[in-house]
Structure 1
C-alpha cells in the first residue's frame, strides 16, 4: 500500500508545488488565518464554472483551509484523472474534496483497479458518479455491470443515461435486466434503458406489458421504441396520449393503432409539434391523411432540418424536369443526408449552380433566395 501511495504521488508535486520562501525573507508577526474561500477555490483551482462553484461551495463551508482539497487534487491528478473529469466529479459531489487520501481514496482506488478498470476509465466514471469513493457497495455493482453488459463503454453509456444506476440494489436490477433480455433487447439496448433497470420489478413488468398492448410484439426492432414511449409517459398515461393523438390526427382508433405499431415513437411527439407537422404535410406538401398514417415515421422528422428543406428542393428539381412528378415524398425524406445528396443534389450541381450550398443553408433554417423554382 505504501508503494502504491508513493507511486501515485511521484511526479505530481509539480502540479501542486509547495510555496517557496526566499532564504532572506523577513518574517512578519503571526496573524489570524484567512477564511478558506471555497467558491473562489472551486473556480480557480478545480475548474468549475461560477454557477457550479456557488452551488458546490455550500458543502465545503466547514473547511478552514485548502490543505485537504489540495491533497485530494494531487492524488487524483497523480492517479491519471483528467482535469475535466475531476471538475465534473467535484461539481456533482463537492464532498469528494473532503475525503482522506490515506484512509479513503487510496484503498478505494486500489479496489477499483483490482476489478479491471484502468485509471482513465475510473476517471470517466468519477466524472459521473464520484460517490464511488465513499460507497464501497458501488464498486461491487460496477463489477456486475461490467460482467453483464460486456464492455466498459456500455457501462459508461448506462451511467450517462442514469447516474443513479450504481445506487440501486442488484436485487432490483437483476430481474429487470433478465426481463429486458427475454424481450429480445441486446446489451447495448439494456444500457440505454438504465433507468428502467432501477424500477421495482412489478412496475418494470407493467411497462413491458403496456408496450405489448400497443401491438408491438417482443423480439422485434420496434419493441424498444414502444418501451421508450411507455417509459416516457408512464404506462398509466398511454391511454390519454392515444386519445390525444387520435383527436389531433383526426383518424379512427384502428388507423391510429396501426400507425403506432409501425412507429411507436410518434407517442413521444408533443401535440404542438404534431399539429404543425401534420398541417405542413397536408397543406404544403399535399399529402392525404391515409398516406401519412401508412408511413407514420414521417411525423417524427424535424420540419426545419429535414421536411421543409427537402420539400423545397424536390420542388426545384421537379420544376426543372430533373425528377419525376410522382416521386414519393416519404422516400425522399426517410433516406439519410448522405444518400439524399447522392441522389438529389450531386447529380445536378452543374445544372443548378450553388445547389449544394443552398441546400445546406435551408437545413440551417433559412430558405435561400438565390435558387428559384
Structure 2
C-alpha cells in the first residue's frame, strides 16, 4: 500500500508541469487568435516595397485609402514585373498614377494589354508605354487616341517621345481639337511631317483650342510672316510661347535696342521668328558685342538676324578674334563681311581662316582654341 501511494504521488508530480505547460500554450493560442491582424499602412508599403521616397509615398497614399491589405498591390506589382516593367519604372508609374495599385489584374490589366497588342504594340513597347502613361490601363478612349497618334506619327518611337514630353497628348480630344488643328495647319501650307515634328513632338500647340491656334496664325501674319512661308511654322511656335503682354514687351525691347521702326521689326521677325523666344539679356549682349566689339551698324545687324542664333562665347567672339588678327596683319580685307565669316560651318571656317593662314600667323590655331574655350588668347 505504501509503494502504491508513492507511485501515485510521483505520477502527479510528473503530470502537473505538463498540464500547466499545455494550459499556458492554450492561453497563448487563444490570445493570438483574438489579436487583430496588423493594420496595412499604404505609406509604409509604398516606401518599403515599391521604392518610393517618403514624400512620394505620403502623396500617393491618399489614393490608396481603401486598401486593407497588400494582396491587390502585390498582385499588380507581380503582373507589371511579368510584362517586363523594371522595378524603377513600376515606382515611376505608381508615382504618376497611384490608383494603379488598386487595379484588378484579371478584369482590368490583362484585357488592356490585349488591346495594346491589337493596335500594334510589341511586348517590349508595352512596358515602355506603361512607364510613361500608366493611366492608359483605365481609359479605353486613351487607347483609341493612341491608335490615332501611332497612325499620324508613323512609329511608336515618335509617339513615345511625344508622350515623354507631355502625357496631355492622350488627354485632349482628338475629334474636336486635334483633327481641326491639323486641318487648319494644312490650310496654312504645313505638311504632316511639319505638324508631327514641330507641333506634336516639341509643343503642345496642337492640343490647344482651335480658336487660339487661328488667333496665333493671324498674329504671325500681322508681324510680317505670311502663311505658306518657310518661317511660318517657327513663328507659330514662337508666338504660342508668349502671352500678349510678354510679346508686346519683347517687341518694344527689340525696337529700342536696335533703334528700328515697326516695318523694320517685321523684317526681323520674318527672317528669324525665334528671336521672340530669346531672352532680353541674350539679345542685348549680342547687340552690344556686334556693335561695340565688331563695329557693326544696327541696320546691318537688323537684316542679318541669324547672328542672334549663335553663341557669343563659342562663335561670335572667337571668330571675331581671328578676323581681327588677320586684318591687323593685312591678310584679309578690312571690309571683310563678318556675317559670312560667322555663318561658315566649323570645318569650312577652320580650312579657310585657320589652316590657310597658320604658317603666316604661327599660333593662330592654338589662340583660336583658347578663345573658343573662354580663355584670353595670346597676342599674335
Query: How much is the aligned-residue C-alpha RMSD, in angstroms?
Result: 3.3
> Which residue among 65, 73, 80 is the counterpart of 2:77?
73
Q: Following the alignment from structure 1 to structure 2, what is the Cα–Cα distance between the partners of residues 282 and 306? A: 16
Contact 2:188 2:227 (C-alpha < 8 Å) held by counterparts? yes
Q: Following the alignment from structure 2 to structure 1, what is the Cα–Cα distance between the partners of residues 85 and 223? A: 46
> Once the 2 structures are TM-superposed, how far is the Cα of residue 232 of structure 1 from its aligned partner?
0.9
Aligned to 1:277: 286
Structure 2 CA distance for partners of 1:74 and 1:233, relative to 1, 3 Å: same
> Which residue among 355, 358, 379 is the counterpart of 1:372?
379
Contact 2:42 2:67 (C-alpha < 8 Å) held by counterparts? no
Q: Structure 1: give runs of 5+ residues left out of the alignment.
A: 1-26
Residue 191 (structure 2) pairs with residue 218 (structure 1) = no
> Once the 2 structures are TM-superposed, how far is the Cα of residue 177 of structure 1 from its aligned partner?
1.2
> Once the 2 structures are TM-superposed, how far is the Cα of residue 359 of structure 1 from its aligned partner?
5.1
> Once the 2 structures are TM-superposed, how far is the Cα of residue 263 of structure 1 from its aligned partner?
0.7
> Once the 2 structures are TM-superposed, how far is the Cα of residue 66 of structure 1 from its aligned partner?
4.2
> Once the 2 structures are TM-superposed, how far is the Cα of residue 322 of structure 1 from its aligned partner?
6.1
Q: Following the alignment from structure 1 to structure 2, what is the Cα–Cα distance between the partners of residues 319 and 303? A: 22
> Which residue among 104, 119, 125 is the counterpart of 1:121?
125
Aligned to 1:16: none
Residue 210 (structure 2) pairs with residue 206 (structure 1) = no
Structure 2 CA distance for partners of 1:52 and 1:310, relative to 1, 3 Å: farther
Deviates more, 1:123-132 or 1:101-110: 123-132
Residue 177 (structure 2) pairs with residue 167 (structure 1) = no
Structure 2 CA distance for partners of 1:188 and 1:82, relative to 1, 3 Å: farther
- How do residues 348-367 of structure 1 correspond to structure 2 at under 5 angstroms? 352=362, 355=365, 362-364=371-373, 366-367=374-375
Aligned to 1:332: 341
Q: Which has the larger radius of gyration?
A: 2
Q: Following the alignment from structure 1 to structure 2, what is the Cα–Cα distance between the partners of residues 322 and 68? A: 79
Deviations 1:296-334 (A, max 9, x none): 121232223332333334445555666554443222333
Deviations 1:20-42 (A, max 9, x none): xxxxxxx9x68853654636745
In terms of fraction of residues, the more helix-rich structure is: 2
- Please state whether the residue corresponding to 1:172 is helix, strand or coil: helix
Q: Following the alignment from structure 1 to structure 2, what is the Cα–Cα distance between the partners of residues 279 and 200? A: 40
Aligned to 1:179: 184
Aligned to 2:25: none
TM-score by length of 2: 0.77
Structure 2 CA distance for partners of 1:123 and 1:362, relative to 1, 3 Å: farther
Structure 2 CA distance for partners of 1:145 and 1:246, relative to 1, 3 Å: same
Contact 2:185 2:195 (C-alpha < 8 Å) held by counterparts? yes
Contact 2:234 2:274 (C-alpha < 8 Å) held by counterparts? yes
Deviations 1:271-312 (A, max 9, x none): 222112111111112111111001012123222333233333
Q: Structure 2: give runs of 5+ residues left out of the alignment.
A: 1-28
Give the length in aligned residue pairs.
343
Contact 1:39 1:57 (C-alpha < 8 Å) held by counterparts? no
Aligned to 1:33: 38
> Which residue among 289, 298, 301 is the counterpart of 2:307?
298
Q: Following the alignment from structure 1 to structure 2, what is the Cα–Cα distance between the partners of residues 83 and 313? A: 54
Contact 2:322 2:364 (C-alpha < 8 Å) held by counterparts? no
Contact 1:217 1:223 (C-alpha < 8 Å) held by counterparts? yes
- Please state whether the residue corresponding to 1:119 is helix, strand or coil: coil
Deviates more, 1:208-217 or 1:281-290: 208-217
> Once the 2 structures are TM-superposed, how far is the Cα of residue 344 of structure 1 from its aligned partner?
4.2
> Once the 2 structures are TM-superposed, how far is the Cα of residue 82 of structure 1 from its aligned partner?
4.8
Q: Following the alignment from structure 1 to structure 2, what is the Cα–Cα distance between the partners of residues 211 and 250? A: 22
Aligned to 1:7: none
> Once the 2 structures are TM-superposed, how far is the Cα of residue 138 of structure 1 from its aligned partner?
0.4
Q: Following the alignment from structure 1 to structure 2, what is the Cα–Cα distance between the partners of residues 341 and 40? A: 60
- Work out which structure has the larger RCO, using CA pairs closer than 8 Å and 6 or more positions apart in sequence: 1
> Which residue among 266, 273, 281 is the counterpart of 2:275?
266
Q: Following the alignment from structure 1 to structure 2, what is the Cα–Cα distance between the partners of residues 339 and 313? A: 14
Aligned to 1:15: none
> Once the 2 structures are TM-superposed, how far is the Cα of residue 158 of structure 1 from its aligned partner?
2.8
- How do residues 6-85 of structure 1 correspond to structure 2 at under 5 angstroms? 32-33=37-38, 35-36=40-41, 38=43, 41-42=46-47, 46=50, 52=56, 55-60=59-64, 63=67, 65-83=69-87, 85=89
- Please state whether the residue corresponding to 1:245 is helix, strand or coil: helix
